[in-house]
Structure 1
Amino acid sequence: MKSLFSALFLLLSISAFTQEKDSIPRKQIYISRINDAPKIDGRLDDAAWKNAASATNFVERLPNNGRSIPDSLATHVKVAYDDLGIYFGAEMLDPNPSEIRKELTERDGIGNDDFFFILLNGYNDRQQSMQFIVTAAGVQYDAKMTNGNEDSSWNAVWYSNVDINDRGWTAEIFIPYSELRFPEKAIQEWGLQMEREFKRSGTRYSWSPVDNTKGSFSIYDGEIHGIEHIQTPTRLSVQPYVSTYLNSYDGETSTNVNGGMDLKYGINDAFTLDMILIPDFGQTKFDESVLNLSAFEVQYDEQRPFFTEGTELFTKGDLFYSRRVGGAPFGDVALQEEEEILDFPSSVDLINALKVSGRTDGGLGIGFFNAITEKTYVTVKNTETGATRRELIEPFTNYNILVLDQRYGDNSSVSLVNTNTTREGHFRDANATGLYVDHTNKTNTFNYFGGIEGSWVMEEGTKTGMEAQAGVSKISGKNRMDLNANLRTKDYDINDLGYSSATNFVRYQGLYQRRLLQPKGFLNNMYLNWVSVHERRLEPDLHSKWILNFNSSFTTREFFNFGGGFETTPIGTNDIYEPRVDGKYFSIPAYYDVWLWFNTDFRKKLVVEVLADWYKYDERGRGDLIFDFSPRYRFSDKFNVRLSTNVRLSDKEEGFVDFLEADDILFGQRDRNTIVNSLGANYIFNNKMGLNLAFRHYYSEVFYSEFYTLQNDGGLSDYGSKNDEYNTTYNSWNLDLRFSWWFAPGSQMTLLYRNATDSYIERSHINIGDNFKNLFDQPQVNSLSLRISYYLDYNRVKSWFKSNDRPTVPQDAVGYRESKMRL
């Protein structure tokens, strides 16, 4: 433990005081200001392109890293700017234009498509860029890319169009300055990367060459020069919405109408305020619910756009789990013997939320998040008298996050994160703070990382805990390695605004990876990974588990992907969490796990993904079999269907069941069978309008055959009494049918039909017919909703009051500037 803290202190010292100069050569382009902007129609025939600077000499990045682009695919990109934004006109030759891949998808989707890709970094720090992609079908995709990690939830308002001709295809793009971040300087120097995907051969070409032997993709940005004396536009936009719902549940029908607004304001050139007023999340994707028999809660993905968009700063250190905001109430109710709860809410209402984030010219990122949730009550009924009362289980609650993230060098940062949850009255409050370092050396061959966190929970006293981690990784060459250590104390708890499951452990992990950097033989790439993980309980010391793992991945020149692996816990596991009691543990015999997987060429109309995974334990008759089969078929460039079936059969699994008298813990031996069937389909009318179907049926049954009590040595002794009440069958059924139409830039209409139900019964071994009869006998949610949001930009609204000969904002979604536009 002392060595872990020493290593962490050394890493923090190195990162805080080491400043390095750029080490990667920069490709450059010098661009000029234009007076007459091109019409964004996909055709590069405007006068503005005649003398514009041209970016050429693209180089293959994948799979043959470093090879020059062939003449038959020559790519030329014209770049220019004016007072409102930056323009790109890309011409991409193709010897067979009729074969250009142009599958239609919903916005922010890339299917079997050729595409053109732009990365812009206004601060030129090689760490965070704005990403803009347009496919050959004209579909837009945008994201924020931070150190090679992509956040596609970010949405910008920009303009593009494409044209397929007898030479290949062209893309024309206009990106307003309002969607970019850059310092307030007379002379700008931005980072720039551009790529072209040629889907038929599965190759990708970059303007600025990328060396895949070391470092992350983002450090190979080139540079734009020549942008001078531009003004940061007023960045103010609002997105009012109106929604209406027709709901039917358990024979009762209700309707409601909602209205609210999202606001985005550029405080200055670097910082942006995002605010949501009167939120409505009724059309978010359904959660993929499961029957949870583990010691920990299920961590579901965030589906609400406000909490996924532009949150890269707030996810530093993993202290923020946004589902806590507006999630399940934390409080509990003390019931008398004759009382019962009539209704217990699954979530609390969000009143409003805001976030402020940005980065200074010196590389300091600052993020602030605040949200307030409403009081929440339950209704308690006296079963003898029939009287009811309301009990407060969640008061007004304020959630805060503050992040400071200082970048330096090509790919390094030091971060401080604080989260705070304050509840009104005598309810539980909490605070957590983390300090993190991520340091990459000058040659981009080694990465050093570490962090330390503290948690404070105030509830009838103060509970404090801590976590620390440190490690080093070799990130270059064919042979790569990673060594790291991580510990958490028993009382570490960030669950008021974060997610922490396992505690009271120290873990040591080592990784060795062998990779193929260039195609060789019949392979395009290969990854071979060997992993060792050793974990112990901290207090009191106890061996927990030792895992040995080998896994592999291969891609052939024909883009057939396959792999597999082997994992074992050779000396078994002492599970300190399954008993649900501090100080207890449950001994699990060693297991051996073998798996194989493959998927066929994603460029084909029919794609099949298959996984087979088999666990065998050192215990007679105990094992798990997992099988996953997922075919998808593309009927046309507009219509595709995806199926998925996942089956898990667990024989003679052992685990926690219940608490007994005299502090005994009941365990059981159980067979568990789980089947998940999913169906997805898209019909895309054009690049702004689509119909999407999402269906999922989850089924899990548990049958107990033996019962035991847990012993102090982690073993089990016969309980002798069999009780069928613990047998379980759980079903979850969800169907969403959604029509979306992006009828104007940033503006969307969504019509959603939703059908959902679930069932939980204390029986198993039910035949299929009876199972579905029981499921559909349960109350069902049938909901039809319509939501319309409209994007209003300050500059656009201002133009409505100007004369026609001096417009400053887009006149339609195709041409941002149909006529001369000057400030």
Structure 2
Amino acid sequence: MPQRLIYFYVLLFSTYILNAQTSTKKVAKTHRVNSHISIDGKLNEEEWKNAIPSTDFIMFYPDNGKEENPTKKTEVKIIYDDDAIYVGAIMYDNPENILQEIKLRDEFGTSDHFGVFFNGFNDNQLEYRFFISAAGVQLDAIATSAGEDYSWDAIWDCKVKITENSWIAEFKIPYAALRFSESEKQTWGLNMYRDIKKENTSYCWNFIDIKLNNEVVQAGILEGIENIKPPTRLFFIPYTSYYHNNNDSGSDNKFKIGMDIKYGINDSFTLDAILVPDFGQTTFDNVNLVLGPFEQQFNENRPFFTEGTDLFNKGDLFYSRRIGGTPTLEPTLTSNEEITEYPTTTNLLNATKISGRTSKGLGIGFLNAITENTYATIFNTPANQTRKELVEPITNFNVFVLDQRFRKNSSVSFINTSVVRNGEGRDANVSGLVFDLNTETNSYKLSGDSKFSYVNNIDEIKRGTNSSIFIGDTKGKYQYGFGSGYISKDYDHNDLGIIFRNNYYSFNANASYRALKRTKTFNNIRLKTDLNSEFENSTGKLQIGTISVSSLLYNLRNDIFQFTIEGSPFETFDFYFPGIDGRFNYNPKYIDFTSIISSNKNRKYSFDLTSNFIKHDQPGRKSYTLTLGQEYRFSDKFYIRYTARGIKNRNDIGLVDYDNNDIIYARRNVNTLEQQFTSKYSINNVMNFNLKVRYYWAYAINNKFLTLREDGYFDDNLTYNLNKNINRNIWNFDFSYTWWFAPGSLVSVLYRNNSSLGERTFNTNLGDNFKNVLSNNPNNTISISFRYYIDYNQAKNVFKHSE
């Protein structure tokens, strides 16, 4: 799509602004206190008695807008001093009905909880949300119009107490955990939230109308804060770690010392830096057997790259797993050499990020990371010599973002990512303009982007473009939208992002319905239909053409039922699987049925059952998937969960090899079995034992070889006879103990056992495969990590008192 057409749509939509019809916002009052407030969940200080309560909560779900049950009312008081803001909340209920499962931090679980949301600039752009469960587990998040980010963690204190007719939560939130202006008189955005788990109902203080897709614009007001100053936000998190590792090759010991630093540059911007990074205790990746043309995408588990990264995710140009990922260069080998060790990751030397937002709504984000030289080990058999060869030079990764928000619900963003390998590898630079425009009443949306990529691959330079636009109705029971996009052949942002397909233009449309009130049968009903199409640029051939209809139903017991039917009534063509420019293979028509049943998690025993069936318009080609997850909660402290997933693909067709000028495919059967077991035992809300076990087994057996023709169809190949069967087994076992012995301070102990096995010749006996992977050079690791959180303000006060 021509970029000037996008700019025309933006200009046209920007002139269509509806007058605001905002509802009246509630106002809460607070006042300053001078005496000490003890955080014990009792609210027995005189200052609490003099505070003005905020009441009259309104149901958020399932009967949006219904008044609060008088027997289960909520009463909240807010006070402040020079250092922090305090929140005291009383949630009336029968103690026998208050659920109190102990979970890990940032996990709600089966527990009642209460949350308070602050916006120090009252700009309806960003909220800092603090939750506490009835079991005393803390949760916190940053919320924007795009949703909640629970990877953000702040340091604050809260205690809960169960009484004869309620549960009480008492918060102390230091100003260092918030952002606000330096004005003498402050006006903050405020909302509060309560979830009653047993009844599956939730309430908010200032009404949140679910007809609107943006919650943060529907906050109330907090008045009365005066003469407070943003504190010096300087935090040091020194750590020390010890690792003992052993396998069949021997054992080794590693000792690490490092530090994370967080510094508030001003009231809006924060600098985060990691010196000598240590990510050795992050959870393992769920690695699968990949038979398709695209790499497997993994979740980010490293805290530095998950905390407060909402700005860097603008435009979907940043995939943080590229930093420290697999090397990009292949060693040059002679006929007598072989690679004996090829690293799967690169070592991160340091990383820094700066992020924040000005009082005028301009968000600025800067992230920089450097990885060190990485080498492969190569062995020359006749000479009996080993040498090293560079497979990834020192690499600098950089992300820069400008995000201007305006009218409290719209934004325009500029993003730039760059990867520099100093001339010893591929360099890349990608820039993008992203816009998200909403009418004043949040009834209509216009969004889109325009991106440009530049890749210097030493001997070749490629430039590409990527543009898209979407317009839709975003308010009420019925919503709809239409979109279109264009990606050129040479567009590529894979050096610091991830993209699977390019060289196509697309059209898509969707329509949906959602019930705003509960019915006689269901708490919630959502229906949606989607139409998606993609056409390859050079040939105009259809590569995606799908129609889907889905439903999401919550019954009165809050069990969940999801059903989806998707189909492609057209023959399509795959331009990625062959792996050679200009070649493609055809894909037959298909129909896909998926059903998901998820029982109410409040019960001691709960389950999730997913079934999927795909039938292709090709003899014998079909796929079955069945996943069953079962969870049993023995008590509020102890639960176990077991999940098993089985997949059978019959007469699947995929690439297996290149034979001279021929591209060889195979008609094959692919079977997959994945089992996961997780368990947690909590001694209390800060001390936990965790177990996570995964066994993954997948194999592909080729029944018939095929040769890809120039027209994308296949001929039988009767001469190719190499063994291209594949068997993959992966075993992971993690057992850990964690203790949050002070705010932000952690001791953790981890035992890890893992191994993997890939082979061409194998049997299909489950017991033999499980035994073989366990005995295939298992890697054993024991690690101990100690992290201590130092707040400059508290440390300064300690030194003052000691003088």
Equivalence for 2:369: 371
SS in 2 for 1:748: strand
Contact 1:702 1:764 in 2 (8 A): no
Equivalence for 1:787: 785
The letter for the 2-side match of 1:197 is D
Equivalence for 2:317: 319
Equivalence for 2:606: 607
Q: What aligned pairs does 1:502-521 form with structure 2 within 5 A after superposition? A: 502-521=501-520
Contact 1:611 1:627 in 2 (8 A): yes
Contact 2:193 2:203 in 1 (8 A): yes
C-alpha separation in 1, matches of 2:343 and 2:385: 20
C-alpha separation in 1, matches of 2:383 and 2:4: 61
* Same amino acid, percent of matched pairs: 39
Equivalence for 1:478: 477
Deviations 1:195-224 (A, max 9, x none): 111111111010001111123111111111
Equivalence for 1:304: 302
Contact 2:419 2:428 in 1 (8 A): yes
Equivalence for 1:811: none
Number of residues of Structure 1 aligned to a counterpart in Structure 2 = 802
Q: What aligned pairs does 1:490-501 form with structure 2 within 5 A after superposition? A: 490-501=489-500
**Inter-CA distance 353–450: structure 2 relative to 1 (3 Å threshold):** same
Deviations 1:421-467 (A, max 9, x none): 11123322110000010011011111110100011011223211111
Q: What aligned pairs does 1:522-671 form with structure 2 within 5 A after superposition? A: 522-661=521-660, 663-671=661-669
**Inter-CA distance 88–411: structure 2 relative to 1 (3 Å threshold):** same
Q: What aligned pairs does 1:449-460 form with structure 2 within 5 A after superposition? A: 449-459=447-457, 460=459
- Deviation, 1:540, is 3.1
Equivalence for 1:98: 96
- The more displaced of 793-802 and 665-674 is 793-802
C-alpha separation in 2, matches of 1:128 and 1:380: 52
Equivalence for 1:809: none
Deviations 1:6-26 (A, max 9, x none): 134422675599798683432
Contact 1:148 1:218 in 2 (8 A): no
The letter for the 1-side match of 2:538 is E
SS in 2 for 1:636: coil
C-alpha separation in 2, matches of 1:799 and 1:476: 51
SS in 2 for 1:213: coil
The letter for the 2-side match of 1:157 is I
The letter for the 1-side match of 2:338 is E
- Deviation, 1:338, is 2.0
- The more displaced of 358-367 and 758-767 is 758-767
The letter for the 2-side match of 1:340 is E
The letter for the 1-side match of 2:587 is I
C-alpha separation in 2, matches of 1:212 and 1:436: 26
The letter for the 2-side match of 1:210 is I
Deviations 1:779-799 (A, max 9, x none): 111111000100000011111
**Inter-CA distance 354–466: structure 2 relative to 1 (3 Å threshold):** same
Unaligned runs of 5+ in 1: 807-823
- The structure 1 segments of at least 4 consecutive aligned residues displaced by more than 4 Å after TM superposition are 12-22
**Inter-CA distance 215–588: structure 2 relative to 1 (3 Å threshold):** closer
Contact 2:734 2:753 in 1 (8 A): yes
The letter for the 2-side match of 1:485 is S
C-alpha separation in 2, matches of 1:343 and 1:9: 54
- The more displaced of 6-15 and 567-576 is 6-15
Contact 2:18 2:440 in 1 (8 A): no
- Deviation, 1:150, is 1.2
Matched, 1:410 2:408: yes
The letter for the 2-side match of 1:38 is I
Unaligned runs of 5+ in 2: none
Matched, 1:447 2:480: no
**Inter-CA distance 277–531: structure 2 relative to 1 (3 Å threshold):** same
**Inter-CA distance 425–148: structure 2 relative to 1 (3 Å threshold):** closer
Equivalence for 1:87: 86
Contact 2:623 2:647 in 1 (8 A): yes
Deviations 1:739-772 (A, max 9, x none): 1000001000110000100100103542123222
C-alpha separation in 1, matches of 2:421 and 2:398: 12
C-alpha separation in 2, matches of 1:468 and 1:573: 23
Contact 1:645 1:675 in 2 (8 A): yes
C-alpha separation in 1, matches of 2:675 and 2:424: 46
Instruction: Please report the TM-score for the alignment, with normalisation by the length of structure 1.
Output: 0.95
Deviations 1:163-183 (A, max 9, x none): 000121110001000010112
Equivalence for 1:67: 66
C-alpha separation in 1, matches of 2:8 and 2:640: 53
Contact 1:15 1:413 in 2 (8 A): no
C-alpha separation in 1, matches of 2:98 and 2:338: 65
The letter for the 1-side match of 2:173 is I
Matched, 1:175 2:198: no
- Deviation, 1:317, is 0.5
Structure 2 residue corresponding to 1:135, chosen from 133, 137, 141: 133
The letter for the 1-side match of 2:226 is E
SS in 1 for 2:182: coil
Deviations 1:76-132 (A, max 9, x none): 1000111111110001111x2122100111111111110011111112122211110
- Deviation, 1:521, is 1.5
C-alpha separation in 2, matches of 1:229 and 1:764: 74
**Inter-CA distance 9–752: structure 2 relative to 1 (3 Å threshold):** farther
C-alpha separation in 1, matches of 2:386 and 2:681: 51
Deviations 1:691-750 (A, max 9, x none): 110111110010000001101111000110353511111000001001100000100011
Contact 1:183 1:360 in 2 (8 A): no
The letter for the 2-side match of 1:573 is T
Ranked by relative contact order (alpha carbons within 8 Å, sequence separation 6 or more), the top structure is 1
RMSD: 1.6
- Deviation, 1:270, is 0.7
Contact 1:629 1:645 in 2 (8 A): yes
Contact 2:13 2:446 in 1 (8 A): no
C-alpha separation in 1, matches of 2:22 and 2:404: 19
SS in 1 for 2:550: strand
The letter for the 1-side match of 2:335 is E
SS in 2 for 1:771: helix
- The more displaced of 76-85 and 771-780 is 771-780
The letter for the 1-side match of 2:462 is K
SS in 2 for 1:801: helix
C-alpha separation in 2, matches of 1:9 and 1:237: 47
Q: What aligned pairs does 1:360-399 form with structure 2 within 5 A after superposition? A: 360-399=358-397
Structure 1 residue corresponding to 2:329, chosen from 316, 326, 331: 331
- The more displaced of 703-712 and 32-41 is 32-41
